[in-house]
Structure 1
Amino acid sequence: MRIAVIDDERPARSELKHQLWELLKDAQIDEGESGAQALEMAGEVCYDLFFLDINLGDINGTVLVNALKNMQPAMKIVFVTAYSEYAVKAFELEVEDYIMKPFDKKRLEKMLKKCKITKKAEKGTDSVRRIAINTEGKTIFKEVGDIVYIETYNRGCMIHTVENDYFEGKTIGEFEKKLGDMGFFRSQKSFLVNLNKVKELFLWKNNSFAIKMEGYEKEILPVGREKIKVLRQLLGG
């Protein structure tokens, strides 16, 4: 269960997260404080439930709804507001529900049942995650599983996917931090690989090791000597 809580007031975010964890103990809850951050999060991760404060500092929540729905049609959106007059607006925009501040646990539980989100959902598999790639003046959204490997290139990184290659001016360390818990491994200082796409691990020159990746069999990716033991364990070898 992946949930987003977007509110420009930290105490409100904390209280909502606390109550949600009491009802959905194993839920993974991300938080943001602005409309811009809401769009960035929705572009990178698939959410089951998205709590959206209407009165954000930069973009009104009612304006964000259509963009969020286009990005993730299956995501359930719930307005968070301190003003009851927004109830009508919530239904006009066809969001799942709305909850009032200060939060009431019984109302929150009722809302979760309305959205058909119960504790049984905690046993489900993680939602497919996506990553936003900023390249050539535009933002491309790719499923993380489609990334084969990432390598340092010039002053940024080249992202190799099952379809195309994309350049982004972020360091490989930034990508490692973002993708490290999604099945990616830093096989060498210049390479971050998708473990599910490793096709071959073999002995290379000077008694070192290298790997080949699915769809990129002509490319030889060296493995750091200090990484080989861990890599073997991760690959089950």
Structure 2
Amino acid sequence: MNQRPIRTLIVDDEKYSREELIFLLQAYSEIEIIGQATTGHEAVAKIIELQPELLFLDIEMPGMTGTEVASVLKEMQSPPYVIFATAYPQFAVEAFQVQAKGYLLKPIDESQLTETIEHIKTLKLSTTGQQETTEISQGKLAVETEGSIIFLAPEQIQFVYRDDKNTKVVTSDHSYETKMTLKELEARLTPFSFFRVHKSYLVNTSYITGMNPWFNGAYQLHLSGSTEQIPVSRNYVKPLRAKIEL
């Protein structure tokens, strides 16, 4: 079974170091870089927002060091794996005290990087089953509304769509905006019976009640409790039917 790419955040206050690491990581199809941060405080904020699975983290940064960031992460319920990438070998002991999964010295050796990524793949594979079970039974999606955060259970969500530059999460009685992309939401919601039916739409298949022909091989979906007509691109019609039909 193929694993989804490992969602990865790069944290380093030096632009050249970030660009070099990103260049090296582009050779690995199992790595998906979802963002960058230049300080420890920015890193914590982006970890909360983007929920990466893997963190490449510099140690010597102004304001908040990498090991301080890692100490904060230890308090999270599902923290990302931490790989320190630093020019200073003397911090290795301290790094592993905060449960780092790897320690790379700059300039980064490509063979060591490969070994590190293989190690992370093994760790992820060993915990995927347990994590997916937990997510399916307990996971909730955080969305912001009027300055507060609302937690939605996946079964409350009828569909998600991209509206210009905004992503909307729709329930039976409300529409919420989120900063996450449709691709990010697809990765999180697919285990909960969600399916991409169009480049701009992700639908909870448990709400589908009917599908009518539209034009050029495309269809429109009818959802329980909704008056919306959801477009289904012709390329998605066959896999959608295979997913929802007995």
TM-score range, shorter chain: 0.5 to 0.7
Question: Among the aligned pairs, what percent are the same residue?
Answer: 23
- 1:133 correspondence with 2:140: no
Partner residue in 1 for 2:36: 32
Partner residue in 1 for 2:107: 102
Assess if the C-alpha contact under 8 Å between 1:45 and 1:130 holds in 2: no
> Normalised by the size of structure 1, how large is the TM-score?
0.62
> Normalised by the size of structure 2, how large is the TM-score?
0.60
Structure number with higher helix proportion: 2
- CA displacement 1:29-59 (0-9 Å, x = unmatched): 3341234255324543451x32112234564
Q: For 2:112 and 2:220, locate their aligned partners in 1 and report how far apart those are by CA, in whole Å.
A: 57
Q: Structure 1 residues 232, 21: CA separation in 2 closer, same or farther (over 3 Å shift)?
A: closer
Q: For 1:27 and 1:89, locate their aligned partners in 2 and report how far apart those are by CA, in whole Å.
A: 26
Partner residue in 2 for 1:73: 78
AA aligned to 2:50 is: E
AA aligned to 1:51 is: F
Q: Following superposition of structure 1 onto structure 2, how do residues 110-129 of structure 1 map, counting pairs within 5 Å?
A: 110-112=115-117, 115=119, 117=121
Q: Structure 1 residues 211, 131: CA separation in 2 closer, same or farther (over 3 Å shift)?
A: same
Q: Which runs of 5+ in 1 are unaligned?
A: none
Q: Which runs of 5+ in 2 are unaligned?
A: 214-218
Partner residue in 2 for 1:200: 209
Partner residue in 2 for 1:86: 91
CA shift, 1:95, in A, is 1.9
Q: Structure 1 residues 66, 165: CA separation in 2 closer, same or farther (over 3 Å shift)?
A: farther
1:4 counterpart (9, 15, 19): 9
- CA displacement 1:99-131 (0-9 Å, x = unmatched): 222112343345446x4536x96xx99x87986
How many pairs were matched up? 214
Q: For 2:167 and 2:203, locate their aligned partners in 1 and report how far apart those are by CA, in whole Å.
A: 15
CA shift, 1:62, in A, is 2.4
Q: Structure 1 residues 136, 117: CA separation in 2 closer, same or farther (over 3 Å shift)?
A: same
Q: Structure 1 residues 108, 152: CA separation in 2 closer, same or farther (over 3 Å shift)?
A: closer
Alignment RMSD (CA, Å): 4.6
Q: For 2:233 and 2:101, locate their aligned partners in 1 and report how far apart those are by CA, in whole Å.
A: 49
